[in-house]
């Protein structure tokens, strides 16, 4: 049974060392190419960047959607790991603020990837749950520490942050100003 977002990838990742190495190389190549060229990049280009043949790519990821989903799952897993790291190493208010910054930056750069996903898939729903759980733990800790508003819940925060990221930023400076606004909106007045 899959119990976390990490388990989603682990369940698909081959056990044989060479096959696992190819799986990881394909995922890394797709992540880089999707970020720079969008999800419509050819799978042949992904295989070439990964240093594997097309048959190897298709053995691990039979469709473009499978590959896009795996990239999304790996990135959500990374964002959740940041949440755990921030909770362990920072004050609750700063941990929440830093996670929101990471989340907004992530969402702003992943519109293409999100558009390529089946939003009714089990993996997408597991990722959504994981993001809400990660952010929810940080919000609760910040509220208990008196660093975040008591009149919001994680659903409010996520809807607000997702709304912010749905608008394209004119520049990095504008993105940073919007991030400060988003973080300030969650902090205790």
Confidence of residue 55 (pLDDT cuts 50, 70, 90): very high
The domains of the chain are located at 5-63, 66-186
Q: Which of 38-47, 103-112, 137-146, 178-187 has the lowest mean pLDDT?
A: 103-112
pLDDT of residue 112: 75
pLDDT of residue 109: 67
Confidence of residue 3 (pLDDT cuts 50, 70, 90): low
Question: Mean pLDDT in the chain?
Answer: 89
Instruction: Reply yes or no on whether the pLDDT at 2 is more than 50.
Output: no
pLDDT of residue 106: 80
Residues near 153 by Cβ (< 8 Å), separated by ≥ 6?
136, 139
pLDDT of residue 156: 94
pLDDT in tens, 125-148: 999 999 999 999 999 999 999 999
Is the CATH code 1.10.357.10 the one for domain 66-186?
Answer: yes
pLDDT in tens, 56-114: 999 999 999 999 999 999 999 999 999 999 999 999 999 999 999 898 878 766 777 87
Confidence of residue 169 (pLDDT cuts 50, 70, 90): confident
Confidence of residue 53 (pLDDT cuts 50, 70, 90): very high
CA dist., res. 158 & res. 74, Å (int): 20
CATH entry, 5-63, from 3.30.70, 1.10.238, 1.10.10, 1.10.3470: 1.10.10
């Amino acid at each position: 049974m899959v119990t976390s977002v990490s388990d989603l990838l682990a369940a698909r990742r081959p056990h044989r060392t060479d096959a696992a190495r190819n799986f990881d190389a394909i995922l890394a190549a797709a992540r880089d190419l999707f970020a720079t060229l969008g999800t419509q990049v050819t799978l042949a280009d992904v295989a070439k960047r990964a240093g594997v043949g097309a048959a190897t790519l298709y053995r691990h990821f039979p469709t473009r959607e499978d590959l896009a989903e795996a990239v999304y799952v790996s990135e959500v897993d990374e964002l959740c790991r940041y949440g755990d790291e921030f909770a362990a190493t920072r004050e609750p208010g700063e941990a929440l603020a830093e996670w929101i910054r990471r989340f907004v930056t992530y969402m702003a750069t992943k519109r293409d990837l999100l558009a390529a996903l089946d939003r009714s898939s089990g993996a997408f729903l597991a990722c959504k749950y994981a993001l809400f759980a990660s952010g929810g733990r940080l919000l609760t800790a910040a509220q208990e520490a008196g660093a975040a508003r008591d009149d919001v819940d994680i659903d409010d925060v996520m809807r607000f942050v997702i709304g912010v990221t749905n608008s394209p930023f004119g520049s990095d400076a504008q993105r940073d100003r919007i991030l400060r606004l988003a973080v300030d909106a969650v902090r205790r007045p």
